[in-house]
Amino acid sequence: MADVILVLNAGSSSIKFSAFDMQSETLGLIMRGQIEGLLSAPRFVAFDGHGHQTGDKDWGAGHLEHEEAVAYIGEFLRSHREGNRVVAIGHRVVHGGQAFSQPVAATPAVLDELEKLIPLAPLHQPHNLKPIRVIAARDPDMPQVACFDTAFHATQPALASTFALPAALTEQGVRRYGFHGLSYEYIARTLPDVAPDAAKGRTVVAHLGNGASLCAMAAGRSVASTMGFTALDGLPMGTRSGNLDPGVILYLLDALKMDTRGVEDLLYRHSGLLGVSGISGDMRTLLASDDPRAAFAIDLYAYRIGRELGSLAAALQGLDALVFTAGIGEHSAEIRRRACEQARWCGVEIDSSANESGGPCISTASSKVAVWVIPTNEELMIARHTRDVAGIA
């Protein structure tokens, strides 16, 4: 029987999970997987720590409640290897608001506070919190820890986090929070070993996945980021617009008579790479396409990275290092090349063969900015926090 920390990342239609070995100091990954299609055609798949498939199950067309999905994952874990005993559960929670700038034990009082933040992240927060309630009801003694995507950015100065809106609104919490914080925190903790100069210097980390943002770090602390009040701001993403003149929203509401749900759907699900190309929000599909609309969407994506990078370099008053991470950042040499081309003006020069082979260092010896590719690991970051907060060792 092995003690494990279970990490859950629950969305509206999927629950991703990872299990980490408490016996190993470094929290080795022993299993990961997901149930996707919760609302339409639920399907479970699991892999061991070496990537070999260890389980799958298909429920056919239909609906699976979060409660049943969480119970299935728990049962699968218990019945595998020589039996795994879950000793604590860490949850990815997108929004910690102004109150939570650290991971926290998810007590009923904390959950009440976190539920108040649902309007700030309506598409993520309710689904992140649901499994915590479900598990607390079934097993009230199970230590559960909430880890926030916003927390890493709590170090940003007021100048970076304040919108030019009336101060009363700022006081109510209408301000920039920043997201992807668990990914940035993992990179910040990894940099001292991989790239000590980047860890000490002025570094921009580009988290380019389905969601995408950039974070400016000074000596490993967040000082600015492209995401703001919601995870809609900043770079264009798979299906999200990124930043927009707020006047566009007024136009959609007034002149085009769209309602707020329609605008939400447009900006979160039908914009970004998908909206611009009209083909797909998936970068691999666009890179493989010879349609000029795919090429334009990619050009716009790289151009916007260049623009936002310039803004963050200004916030840092210079740039010593640039780090690429997440699905596109880790795997697409072409997008890294294009993004770096946009940053040639500030002395970024990449070595194309190092870039093609994935780094980790992909800049030339003479580049003024060191460029790195570092795989992120948000789940491991959550597992570490969970072990610390739950006080188990």
Active site residues: 149
Q: Which residues contact 2 (CB under 8 A, 6 or more apart)?
A: 21, 22, 23, 30, 81, 82, 83, 84, 85
Interaction of residue 220 with ligand ADP, rule CB under 6 A? no
Interaction of residue 211 with ligand ADP, rule CB under 6 A? yes
- Span interacting with ligand ADP, options 84-92, 112-120, 328-336, 358-366, rule CB under 6 A: 328-336
Q: Which helix (H) or strand (E) holds 58?
A: strand 53-58
Interaction of residue 362 with ligand ADP, rule CB under 6 A? no
Among 89, 145, 227, 328, binds ligand ADP (CB under 6 A): 328
String of contacts with ligand ADP for each residue 79-98, x by CB under 6 A: --------------------
Interaction of residue 68 with ligand ADP, rule CB under 6 A? no
Rounded distance between C-alpha atoms, residue 226 and residue 232, angstroms:
10
* Least distance in angstroms from the C-beta of 279 to ligand ADP: 12
Interaction of residue 101 with ligand ADP, rule CB under 6 A? no
Among 13, 210, 243, 364, binds ligand ADP (CB under 6 A): 210
Interaction of residue 332 with ligand ADP, rule CB under 6 A? yes
| Closest C-alpha among 74, 149, 136 to residue 106 | 136
- Taking each helix axis from N to C end, the angle separating 181-194 and 378-390, rounded to the nearest 10 degrees, works out to 100
Residue 227 tokens, joined: 């995401």
Interaction of residue 7 with ligand ADP, rule CB under 6 A? no
User: Do 15 and 131 form a contact (C-beta atoms < 8 A)?
Assistant: yes
What is the total count of residues that contact ligand ADP (CB under 6 A)? 13
| Closest C-alpha among 185, 209, 201, 156 to residue 324 | 209
* Least distance in angstroms from the C-beta of 41 to ligand ADP: 19
Rounded distance between C-alpha atoms, residue 359 and residue 333, angstroms:
10
What is the three-class DSSP state of 238? coil
Interaction of residue 284 with ligand ADP, rule CB under 6 A? yes
Give the footprint of ligand ADP on residues 141-180 (CB under 6 A): none
* Choice between 88 and 206, CB closer to ligand ADP: 206
* Least distance in angstroms from the C-beta of 141 to ligand ADP: 32
Interaction of residue 311 with ligand ADP, rule CB under 6 A? no
What sections of 270-371 are H helices per DSSP? Answer: 272-277, 283-288, 292-316, 326-331, 333-342, 352-356
Among 87, 174, 287, 300, binds ligand ADP (CB under 6 A): 287
User: Do 205 and 323 form a contact (C-beta atoms < 8 A)?
Assistant: yes
- Span interacting with ligand ADP, options 39-47, 98-106, 167-175, 321-329, rule CB under 6 A: 321-329
* Least distance in angstroms from the C-beta of 76 to ligand ADP: 22
Interaction of residue 209 with ligand ADP, rule CB under 6 A? yes
Rounded distance between C-alpha atoms, residue 157 and residue 178, angstroms:
12
* Least distance in angstroms from the C-beta of 11 to ligand ADP: 9
Among 29, 327, 340, 362, binds ligand ADP (CB under 6 A): 327
Q: Which residues contact 61 (CB under 8 A, 6 or more apart)?
A: 40, 41
* Least distance in angstroms from the C-beta of 193 to ligand ADP: 22
As beta bridge partners, residue 43 has 36, 58
Strands 84-93 and 321-325: unpaired
**Positions that interact with ligand ADP (CB under 6 A):** 209-211, 238, 282-284, 287, 326-328, 331-332
